[in-house]
Amino acid sequence: MDLQLKGKRALITGGSVGIGLAVAEALAAEGVNLILCARNLSRLEEESRKIATKFQVEVDCFQVDVSQQDQLEHFIQKITQNYQSLDILINNAGQGTNEKIESAPDDRWYYYWDLHVMAAVRLSRGLLPLLKINGGVILNNSSICAVQPLGYEPIYNTTKAALSMFSKCLANEYISYGIRVNTVNPGLIITPDWRKTAKDLGEKEGISADEYLDRLAKDYTPIGRFGTPEELANFFVFLCSPMASYSVGSTYYIDGGWLNVVK
Ligand code: NDP
């Protein structure tokens, strides 16, 4: 299938590792030029160079903390000045949390609200002039936790639920500009961060990281294993393509069957 993506330009937040990096590579493999951002500049620059060399596409990278309004506004200004149009925006940057509601202070809530919700609001709003030039695609990387909460991360569950609702409202509004907005809700996707967590928690129980991950996946998912970032990235790429032209305002679960209801 020709996905008709060659020569398009995509901006991916958190494109330096994990899911964002896999999506960046998968889009680059289709000939998409990239704008990547993250906080750790050296890692971002290294991955950007590798992608540009391997796939012969343009990859520009910017050090931005997307949870910080001033940095994001500055970033949006630079993008608007430097690029004539943008075809794809992927709001991916995010992070799990670990807290009890009774003891989590307000600033913790506000940080994740800014990271998971306001970054997507600000980028979708600020980049609209560029996105509507050719008609574009916005994908919001939420989580299965938006509808099926994990007990240890109420702030993550709540802010991801808000991102999903924002995404639906955005889809309704922006389709009049020819911009398709959808949400992806991943389940367990193996990333370096998961491996580190599994090593730490496994050690406490006297089991290896692999044993810890394997048990977790078998407990949670009918498929009995973690997904790879690449398996998920394929799905993102398809949703970015004009071949998904009738897909608007939907939420797609890529979770090995973990979602426990019919939706
Ligand atoms: P990783 O921790 O592997 O990668 C996160 C990426 O986001 C990195 O590039 C990181 O770079 C960047 N990032 C984090 N915080 C910020 C910030 N404040 N400003 C700019 N960039 C930032 O995470 P995953 O790949 O696992 O997760 C990606 C998304 O997928 C997240 O939104 C997550 O909630 C979601 N998700 C992940 C699942 C999983 O199982 N892995 C399951 C469901 C959803 P840097 O640190 O340099 O800023």
pLDDT along the chain (263 residues), means of 10: 97 98 98 98 98 98 98 98 98 97 98 99 98 97 98 98 99 98 98 94 96 97 98 98 98 98 88
pLDDT of residue 58: 98
Closest CA to 33 of 5, 3, 14, 74: 5
pLDDT tens by residue, 164-174:
999 999 999 99
Task: For residue 111, report the distance from its CA to the centre of ligand 1, in Å.
Answer: 14
Q: Is it true that domain 9-189+227-253 has CATH number 2.160.10.10?
A: no
pLDDT of residue 263: 78
Q: Catalytic residue among 110, 111, 112, 156, which?
A: 156
State whether the beta carbon of 65 lies less than 6 angstroms from ligand 1.
Answer: yes
Domain ranges, ordered by start, for the chain? 9-189+227-253
pTM: 0.98
State whether the beta carbon of 124 lies less than 6 angstroms from ligand 1.
Answer: no
State whether the beta carbon of 241 lies less than 6 angstroms from ligand 1.
Answer: no
Contacts 24+ apart (CB under 8 A), 133-137: 133/84, 133/85, 133/86, 134/85, 134/87, 135/177, 135/178, 135/179, 136/86, 136/87, 136/88, 136/89, 136/178, 136/179, 136/180, 137/87, 137/88, 137/89, 137/179, 137/180, 137/181, 137/182, 137/239, 137/240
Q: Which atom belonging to ligand 1 lies closest to the Cα atom of 67? A: 18
Question: Which residue owns the Cα nearest ligand 1 atom 41?
Answer: 189
State whether the beta carbon of 67 lies less than 6 angstroms from ligand 1.
Answer: yes
Task: For residue 155, report the distance from its CA to the centre of ligand 1, in Å.
Answer: 15
Active site residue 110: no
State whether the beta carbon of 240 lies less than 6 angstroms from ligand 1.
Answer: no
Question: Which residue owns the Cα nearest ligand 1 atom 48?
Answer: 39
pLDDT of residue 165: 98
